[in-house]
């Protein structure tokens, strides 16, 4: 039990023992305040939620050092954590005592970040700060998480949106613009929904060309120190077998050639036989291919030896320049243009194609390696470009069109009175059903007659892009 004692200075000291049986004390101006605080402390001790009032004096930077020492994460995650701490968290909070970081201070910091960073990036920094403060709560250093309830501002002008490409544009524009030696990896993303790391780490032993199957297990993880091969994918659901469409099988056969490749060799290796770097592929292959396909900026020959180029900048303004040859124009647009389709957007497109063609979501989830079907639907499924035609096609069957039923007539083409013309009591004329001969009772059960049975519309069967474009 704690107690309150008066000090020679006329203040009142609350005395108690913490959960480790160490003597603690705190001074207050009045005895009432000391007793109220002591009651809260004793209640927290009884509930097991006691937090030392002096523990929050530890500075954020010191606690982060201890927090990092206790983490066990992948190399790429550790690298990303260090980058976020160094760039934004430690410059703001390193010298703050943990107990002094409150909700208003965090909200102001997040609002300032939102002015220069994308909402998704701002949310990641807030999530890391919240994770650190939650660890401080478990360590009994603070009582509440100041990040709870903090809102990330939306910046729609800078918010990146995942894009998709139609099958017609992929086969007709993008794939022909990709250099022949790199078409197979592009087809693997668009025809099997593989992530970049799954493409870069794919060995030949995981590819069965005869059966048209591809097994995903090994992935490549890119860090500042190099590209590492990891024997397991992003999640447990990522270990999967994916059926390959014919165009992907054909591209892999061309890449394989007549010789039998080493089973452990990478399918999409670089010149040295190792996994490719995403940054190099994006700069040297992907972005120039988008420009040549007309999917990023525009390059056109305006006169012999003169090529005009236009591209959007970061602020959405169109920039223009002229070049002496096409290669220089394409390289400049690829390096200067902002936005454009991402390599990962091919995975978004693949999932959208499957869902749009009626493949069950649980099957799509398994094929693409998602743990939850909600991820497949909410994050990766997008509205196709021809959605309006698909909606109209649902009502294209003539049997679905509403028409008023024709009124019965006698042999002399004189309309018989319907139920609305019968004003007397009893059964209406014309058989007593008022013209409503749609339902027949059988054994106490109502069944529709042949006339009322509507013809079900045929299911709209969308052929795959591979059949349409073959």
Between 183-192 and 345-356, two packed helices, what is the crossing angle to 10 degrees? 40
pLDDT beyond 60 at 138: yes
What's the mean pLDDT in 7-28?
A: 82
Tell me which residue has tokens 């320049």: 321
Element containing residue 15 per DSSP (H, E): strand 12-17
Please choose, from the candidates 136, 128, 129, the residue with its C-alpha nearest in 3D space to the C-alpha of residue 66. Answer: 136
399-408 pLDDT, tens per residue? 655 566 666 6
For residue 287, give both structure tokens: 């972005």
Name the percent of the chain lying above pLDDT 70.
80
What is the spatial order of strands in the sheet that 12-17 belongs to?
3-6, 12-17, 23-28
Pairing of strands 226-230, 219-223: antiparallel
- Give the model's confidence band at 466: pLDDT under 50 very low, under 70 low, under 90 confident, else very high: very low
- Assign 419 to helix, strand or coil: helix
260-292 pLDDT, tens per residue? 888 999 999 998 899 999 999 999 999 999 999
- Give the model's confidence band at 420: pLDDT under 50 very low, under 70 low, under 90 confident, else very high: very low
pLDDT at 380: 85
Please choose, from the candidates 260, 258, 201, 254, the residue with its C-alpha nearest in 3D space to the C-alpha of residue 232. Answer: 201
pLDDT at 215: 95
What's the mean pLDDT in 304-311?
A: 93
Q: Which residues of 224-246 are buried (b: 16+ CB within 10 A; e: fewer)?
A: eeebeebeebeeeebebebebbe
- Give the model's confidence band at 52: pLDDT under 50 very low, under 70 low, under 90 confident, else very high: low
Phi and psi (nearest 5°) for 432? 85, 10
- Give the model's confidence band at 225: pLDDT under 50 very low, under 70 low, under 90 confident, else very high: confident
pLDDT at 385: 77
Enumerate residues 6+ apart whose C-beta is below 8 A from 110. Answer: 122, 125, 126, 150, 151, 152, 153
Pairing of strands 298-303, 240-243: unpaired
Q: Residue 202's CB: how many other CB atoms inside 10 A?
A: 27
139-190 pLDDT, tens per residue? 888 888 999 999 998 765 444 455 899 999 999 999 999 999 999 999 999 9
CA–chain centroid gap for 208, Å, is 30
55-70 pLDDT, tens per residue? 778 899 999 999 999 8
Cα separation, 31 vs 230, in Å, equals: 63
pLDDT at 419: 44
pLDDT beyond 90 at 464: no
Pairing of strands 3-6, 318-323: unpaired
- Predicted TM-score of the model (pTM): 0.68
- Assign 246 to helix, strand or coil: helix
pLDDT at 463: 42
User: CA 301, 307, 308, 312 torsion: positive or negative?
Assistant: positive
Residues paired with residue 324 on neighbouring β-strands, in sequence order:
none
Mean pLDDT of the chain: 83
What is the spatial order of strands in the sheet that 240-243 belongs to?
207-208, 213-216, 240-243
What's the mean pLDDT in 384-395?
A: 78
């Amino acid at each position: 039990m704690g107690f309150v004692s008066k000090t020679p200075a006329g203040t009142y000291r609350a005395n108690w023992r913490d959960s480790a049986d160490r003597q603690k004390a705190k001074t207050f101006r009045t005895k009432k305040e000391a007793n109220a605080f002591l009651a809260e402390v004793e209640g927290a001790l009884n509930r097991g939620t006691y937090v030392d009032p002096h523990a929050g004096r530890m500075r954020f930077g010191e606690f982060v050092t201890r927090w990092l020492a206790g983490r066990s994460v992948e190399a790429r995650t550790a690298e990303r954590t260090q980058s976020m701490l160094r760039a934004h968290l430690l410059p703001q909070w390193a010298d703050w005592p943990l107990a002094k970081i409150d909700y208003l201070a965090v909200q102001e910091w997040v609002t300032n970040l939102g002015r220069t960073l994308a909402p998704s990036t701002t949310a990641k920094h807030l999530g890391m700060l919240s994770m650190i403060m939650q660890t401080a709560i478990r360590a009994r250093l603070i009582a509440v998480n100041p990040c709870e309830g903090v809102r990330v501002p939306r910046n729609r002008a800078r918010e990146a949106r995942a894009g998709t490409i139609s099958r017609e544009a992929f086969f007709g524009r993008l794939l022909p613009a990709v250099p022949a030696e790199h078409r197979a990896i592009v087809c693997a993303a668009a025809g099997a929904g593989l992530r970049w790391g799954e493409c870069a780490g794919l060995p030949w032993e995981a590819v069965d060309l005869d059966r048209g199957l591809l097994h995903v297990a090994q992935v490549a993880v890119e860090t500042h120190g190099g590209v590492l091969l990891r024997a397991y994918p992003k999640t447990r659901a990522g270990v999967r077998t994916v059926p390959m469409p014919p165009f992907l099988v054909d591209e892999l056969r061309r890449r394989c050639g007549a010789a039998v490749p080493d089973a452990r060799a990478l399918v999409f290796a670089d010149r040295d036989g190792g996994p490719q770097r995403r940054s190099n592929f994006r700069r040297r292959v992907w972005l120039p291919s988008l420009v040549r396909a007309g999917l990023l900026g525009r390059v056109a020959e305006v006169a012999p030896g003169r090529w005009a180029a236009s591209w959007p900048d970061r602020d959405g303004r169109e920039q223009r320049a002229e070049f002496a040859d096409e290669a220089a124009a394409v390289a400049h647009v690829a390096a200067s243009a902002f936005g454009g389709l991402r390599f990962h957007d091919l995975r978004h497109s693949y999932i959208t194609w499957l869902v749009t063609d009626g493949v069950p979501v649980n099957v799509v989830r398994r094929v693409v390696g998602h743990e939850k079907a909600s991820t497949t639907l909410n994050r990766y499924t997008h509205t196709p470009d021809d959605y309006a035609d698909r909606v109209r096609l649902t009502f294209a069957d003539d049997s679905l069109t509403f028409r008023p039923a024709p009124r019965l007539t006698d042999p002399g083409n004189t309309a018989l009175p319907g139920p609305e013309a019968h004003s007397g009591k009893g059964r209406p004329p014309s058989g007593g059903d008022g013209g409503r001969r749609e339902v027949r009772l059988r054994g106490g059960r109502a069944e529709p007659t042949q006339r009322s049975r509507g013809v079900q519309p045929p299911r709209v069967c969308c052929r795959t892009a591979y059949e349409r474009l073959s």
